[in-house]
Amino acid sequence: MNINFDPLWDERGELRRGCTVGEALTWLTNCGSHSAGESVSINGELFKIGRLLYGPDRPAVADKPIARVCDGYYHRLTFRV
C-alpha cells in the first residue's frame, strides 16, 4: 500500500468519494496514526479497528463508503456511512 496516497482526503482537504471504512483504516494503521487495538465509532456503534480489518467475522460496515468523518473525543475516529 502506498502510504503517500491518502484515500480519505483529497488534495483540497475534502473527503474522497467512495473511500470505504476498510480502506481508510488500513491506511491509518499503516501510517502508524492508529492501531488495530483502538476503537472506532461507526454510526454510533463502537468497533475495534482490528475486527474491521481482519478476522473471519468482519462486519459488513467495513466495506461501506464513508459519508462523513465526525470529530471524536480523545482521538477516537468517528465515521458515518
How much is the pLDDT for 33? 82
Model's pTM, two decimal places? 0.86
The pLDDT value given to residue 5: 83
The pLDDT, as a whole number, for residue 74 is: 66
- What pLDDT score does 63 carry? 95
Look at phi and psi of residue 19 and say left if phi exceeds 0, alpha if psi is from -120 to 50, else beta: beta
Q: How far apart are CA 20 and CA 41, in angstroms?
A: 14
Per-residue pLDDT of the chain (81 residues; tens, 9 = 90+): 566 788 888 999 899 999 999 999 999 999 888 899 999 999 999 999 999 999 788 999 999 999 999 876 666 789 999
Record the cell numbers describing residue 50, joined without a space. 482490528
